[in-house]
Amino acid sequence: MSRLAKKPIAIPSKVTVTTDGGVFTVKGSNATLAMPIHSAITMDVTSEGLQIAPANSSKLARALTGTFAAHARAMMSGVETPFKKVLIMKGVGFKVELRGRDLVFNVGFSHQVTMPIPEGIEAKVEKLTITIEGADKQKVGQFAAEVRGIKPPEPYLGKGIAYDNEVIRRKQGKKAV
């Protein structure tokens, strides 16, 4: 069992947490998130905080306690301060624009690539910088990975879509003999 899940998780003062009908709900000033509770674990709200324990002694139950503790911490922090990912486009002629709830990319293909922005996520575009924000850490990370997957950075010139703090391992090109 996870060492972090053995201790009660402190609930911030502006956040309300409920566990009704097998659904874990976190409500904050900016958003409300819900997640189904797996039958192998139990989640109880006490005066000390959120207590997560395995429902039985199976390997799955012990593994899920740490997973659900991490999800609960992320949900509690996400409803107060949104998670944020920044992507930067590098390349001659590469462009991105926001059309309604769609991101439209021109990244060197013969066609434009259009990606709809999922519900609960906000995207901002400033020149070649894309900022993705949202309360759900998993959704923000998944959408950022999908955007990066359109044109990942290549190792020779570094062109493509990369995370803001990503280090691109560069390869040496052809040598002149």
Looking at the structure, tell me whether residues 29 and 97 fall in a common domain. no
Q: Do the domain assignments include residue 172? A: no
Looking at the structure, tell me whether residues 64 and 120 fall in a common domain. no
pLDDT digits (tens, 9 = 90+) for 152-162: 999 998 899 99
Q: What does the pLDDT average to over 83-93?
A: 94
Looking at the structure, tell me whether residues 25 and 51 fall in a common domain. yes
Q: What's the whole-number average pLDDT of the chain?
A: 92
What is the DSSP code (8-state) at residue 40? T
pLDDT digits (tens, 9 = 90+) for 74-85: 999 999 999 999
Question: How many structural domains comprise the chain?
Answer: 2
Q: Do the domain assignments include residue 110? A: yes
The rounded distance, in Å, linking the Cα atoms of 1 and 16 is 26
- The CATH number assigned to the domain holding 65 equals 3.90.930.12
Compute the C-alpha angle 103/131/118, nearest 5°: 50
Looking at the structure, tell me whether residues 87 and 149 fall in a common domain. yes
- Between helix 59-78 and helix 137-150 the angle, nearest 10°, is 90
- Cα dihedral 81, 87, 93, 95, rounded to 10, equals -30
Looking at the structure, tell me whether residues 52 and 91 fall in a common domain. no
pLDDT digits (tens, 9 = 90+) for 106-154: 999 999 999 999 999 999 999 999 999 999 999 999 999 999 999 999 9
